Homo-oligomer: A and B are copies of this chain.
C-alpha cells in the first residue's frame, strides 16, 4: 500500500493501518446509495480480490463503525447493514423508511426546521428529566412504499 489518501490519517490516529482490503471496502460503500449487508459487501470485495475472507469484511466494517466512518443498521431482517456516515455527497444524518412488504429502504434526510428544532428540545428535555445524555438517535419509519400500496 503506497499512496496515501484522505482517510489515511484517520486510520493512523486510530492506531489502525491502511490496507488494500480496507480501501476496497470504503470504495464499495462510497459507490453505492444502498444499504449493503455484510454478505453483499463481501461478494463485491470478492470480485476484486477472491482471496479476501469474510471475517476481514466483518472486522473492517466493525472498525469503520468504531471510527465513526460508517453506520450500522439493523432494520429487522436479521442482518446488519452498513452505510458510510459521511459520503461523497455530504449526505449526513438521516432517517429511514422501511417498506414492511418489499423491504425497500428509502433515505429521508430533508428535515424541516421544525423537526431539527424539536430534536434539540427533546435532547435538552431528556437530559433534564432523565439525566440522560443523548449521543445519537435512530428513527425507523415502517410502512408501505408506493408500489406495495397498490397490491
In the complex, A6 has a CB within 8 A of chain B: no
CB-CB < 8 A to A122: which residues of B? 115
CB-CB < 8 A to A137: which residues of B? 139-142
> CA separation between A108 and B123, bound complex, in Å?
12
A142-B135 in contact (CB<8A): yes
> CA separation between A86 and B15, bound complex, in Å?
48
> CA separation between A114 and B100, bound complex, in Å?
28
What band does the interface of chain A fall in when counting residues whose beta carbon is under 8 Å from B? Answer: 35 or more
In the complex, A68 has a CB within 8 A of chain B: no
> CA separation between A122 and B113, bound complex, in Å?
12
In the complex, A134 has a CB within 8 A of chain B: yes
Chain B: minimal CB distance from A35 (Å)? 16
7 tightest CB-CB pairs across the interface, nearest first? A131-B146, A134-B143, A139-B139, A137-B141, A133-B144, A135-B143, A133-B143
